Structure 1
């Protein structure tokens, strides 16, 4: 059997607090509970992350997100919700089975901090980078 902890949860070898399951996707509470109701949504197919995911698996996974996000927000009475996905260790991925975090937010002063820096944009540099990325998309 695969040593992946999420594969073991999917197989029922490790207990979890399931909130949703169908033939393609499993959602369960994260044991870390960054905030109460922190839920992980995983494809049942073992795939490392979005970078290695097929379009079919991505569609199966993402199509469940709105329903699950609404359920988590409603059940927890959260004021909002972050949907977060980390790809590779440098980006914070610690379990190498694709998963989406649904993190309820109750107060803008909670301990979770996600920040974006603001600075004057270099539109020429942005245009060049956008073109480089667009070329990769069509490659």
Structure 2
């Protein structure tokens, strides 16, 4: 998609340090860090939401999540992480390109994501 920031990152038009990548997904540090180590898992192809992803991409998505989370946990000396995915503007999705947030957590953090 022409004006999509994540498509530009995926295509190499906007350089950024990739944490991990496979054939369908890649991860990068989030420009707007909510916590140290906050990172994004982004689809290399433009899909608006998780509902638009092909079912067959599940294995590569999980691979990217796991490998990225393990690297971040080690680097940040974290004790856990939140995995967040907002779908559609009503749910807080700002960039209309499917992506997942990994937020490393340490014991005692005040996390707004406790359910």
TM over 0.5: yes
Q: CA deviation at 1:115?
A: 4.0
* Structure 1 contact 43–57 (Cα < 8 Å) conserved: no
Quick one: distance in 1 between partners of 2:109 and 2:24? 36
Quote the residue 1:41 is aligned against.
41
Q: After TM superposition, list the pairs within 5 Å mapping 1:54-93 onto structure 2.
A: 54-93=54-93
Q: What is the TM-score of this pair, normalised by structure 2?
A: 0.89
- For residues 71 and 109 of structure 1, do their structure 2 counterparts lie closer, same or farther at Cα, with a shift above 3 Å needed? closer
Quick one: distance in 2 between partners of 1:22 and 1:59? 11
* Structure 1 contact 50–58 (Cα < 8 Å) conserved: no
Quote the residue 1:18 is aligned against.
18
Number of equivalences: 115
Q: Between Structure 1 and Structure 2, whose CA radius of gyration is higher? A: 1
* Structure 2 contact 22–64 (Cα < 8 Å) conserved: no
Q: Counterpart of 2:19 in 1: which secondary structure? A: strand
CA RMSD of aligned residues (A): 1.6
Alignment of 1:8 with 2:17, yes or no, is no
Q: Greater share of helix residues, 1 or 2?
A: 1
* Structure 1 contact 85–99 (Cα < 8 Å) conserved: yes
Q: Which protein, 1 or 2, shows the higher relative CO under an 8 Å CA cutoff with sep ≥ 6?
A: 2
Quote the residue 1:132 is aligned against.
none
Question: Residue by residue, what CA displacement relative to the aligned partner does 1:80-129 show, whole Å, maximum 9, x if unpaired?
Answer: 1101111111111111111111101124344x41243xxxxxxxxxxxxx
Question: Residue by residue, what CA displacement relative to the aligned partner does 1:53-82 show, whole Å, maximum 9, x if unpaired?
Answer: 110123321232222211111111112110
* Structure 1 contact 7–44 (Cα < 8 Å) conserved: yes
Quick one: distance in 2 between partners of 1:21 and 1:109? 29
Q: Which runs of 4+ in 1 moved over 4 A?
A: none
